[in-house]
Structure 1
Amino acid sequence: MVLIAVFNLWSCDNSSDIVEQEIVQQEETQPEETEQEAIEEEVIEEEKEETDKSFLLPNIDLSNWKVTLPIGSPDEVEPPEIIDYATDERLLPYMYNDSTDGTLVFYTLPSSSTANSSYSRTELREQMVPGSNSTNWTFAEGGRMKGTLAVPEITKDVNGDYHRTLVMQIHGRLTNEQRDLIGEDDNNAPPILKIYWQKGKIRVLTKMLKDLNFSDEEILHTNAWEDNEGYTFPAEIGTNKFTLEVIASDGRLEVLLNETDSVVFEDIHMEKWGIFENYFKAGNYLQSRDQGSYAKVKYYDLEVSH
């Protein structure tokens, strides 16, 4: 009996030692698990930061723009709805963000067209008063538009030549009084400025009167005006990013490419144009009805001032 008691006592002591050793081992391994968790959390944070850095957005305020789409009658989206363009299913795939390079993409193809045109567009129209086309500006009041953009994708015709697209405009508009005076049923007037991406270069067209002796009433008619010979900047743009700036003032119009090359129109035709109201346009107005044709125009930034 004594031997048994001693043996049991030794067994209890030995079990106690084992339990103590297990506790010590657990205490020693616990910091290693915590350290590993910290490392994993740090890696996740670094990956999140990298993701945040790679997600870019265009520097464009759409508060004073509406967009026309190449679908519907055609469809238009005005402020304030246009502010939520990124989540508006009506605008996909025609107007959306490319977060890899921080651009606002305008995609178009031959489909629905607006009145007074046979081509389709995904194009912004300036609205000085959000939601209204009635308030516009004259050359005497002046206006400036500047944008950084690119034409990364555009199709070719059957001859292997690139299609062309309008990327910026200044469009004329009749006041209600002018419209009624000449008996028109809308306020449409010609575009005084059209800027094309054409065969990898930037081409500028403005308007000139067919007859300088036209009266102030006669020059209100669209058919009183025609395109001038235009100007093509010598620089090859291709699919690269470039900057365009348009400055309109009393009797004068200037277009700058990449802040260095400039063309100025300052003549009697520009003086006569002062009779019209105007608004800026920017985007992708594809000048093709060929089956399968399309174009993408990317805007990195766009700003307007008056």
Structure 2
Amino acid sequence: MKAWSWDRYGPPEVLTLKDMDEPAIAPDEVLVRVRAASVNPYDWRHVGADPKLVRLSIGLRRPKPGLVPGADLAGVVERVGDQVTGLRPGDAVFGEVRLGSFAETVAVPQGRLALKPARLTFEQAASVSMAAHTALQGLRDVGRISAGQRVLVNGSSGGIGTFAVQLAKTFGAEVTGVCSTRNIELVRSLGADEVVDYTRDDFTEREGRYDLLMDIVGDRSLARLRRPLTSRGTLVIVGGIASARGGLLGPAAQVARGALAAPFVSQRIATVSWKPNSTDLRLLAELMEKEQISPVIDRTYAFAELPEALRYIERGHARGKVAIRF
């Protein structure tokens, strides 16, 4: 099979398209012929070891041999392990792996897959898992969202943010999105009740207005992020996706600051780290089939153009998701 790999840390250009052996599957895994993938900040952070903390899991001095980056995917089942139930060869599926989706075939645990919604293309389905899992679990499990709450999403036009706005509306919340001028109409089209243009207004000056604030950008201090919350409001930190580059901890620094501050303030400060699972994927698939949520795709690149796609998303201005067509 063809797969992208890298033998040193650096910019997307360190990736090389190679001929590699097709992966073997464990008893609880499925071999998927990848039809589409999508790129996330997660991917360029692994390729560049940014932050350095990434090296602990994939290699201290250089990536471990044979690693393939990539998480999100959609494709067709080719083989299933002996312990797999509910999936069979020929099924169109979508989901996520820890690493490995930037390849023509990938072994995926069955617990990280679900059947692809019929109304979605492979490119759309491949743009769901990581971003939508993060948004869903951040709002529902961490933020404890409920109907009638006032929710603000900082970073509402990106991959996670576009799902967060739509999902918050399905929970019955009143939603404010924060984005740049060029994305105002997009965020409104997703259902936001109000949109704040951060180039003109500072949402952190709105004291005591929101019950829940999901911060995806990580470009404000904790003190400023707490200001627009009610006295018992909840701040959900996604991890500073678009900031805090370089260094040892990178976006995890904001997470650590939140954990240290949480015991000493009246508001809840909590962190979301997505946990991919088939139960939530099936829920997301149901919402997409009902057209209550939809993935937003900024651009689609060919498989051979992967480094260019990573470079584009690394700049931090993608509207929604960036897909890879195989």
Same fold (TM over 0.5): no
TM-score range, shorter chain: under 0.3
Between structures 1 and 2, the one with greater helix share? 2
Q: TM-score, normalised by structure 1?
A: 0.27
User: Relative CO higher for 1 or 2, CA cutoff 8 Å, sep ≥ 6?
Assistant: 1
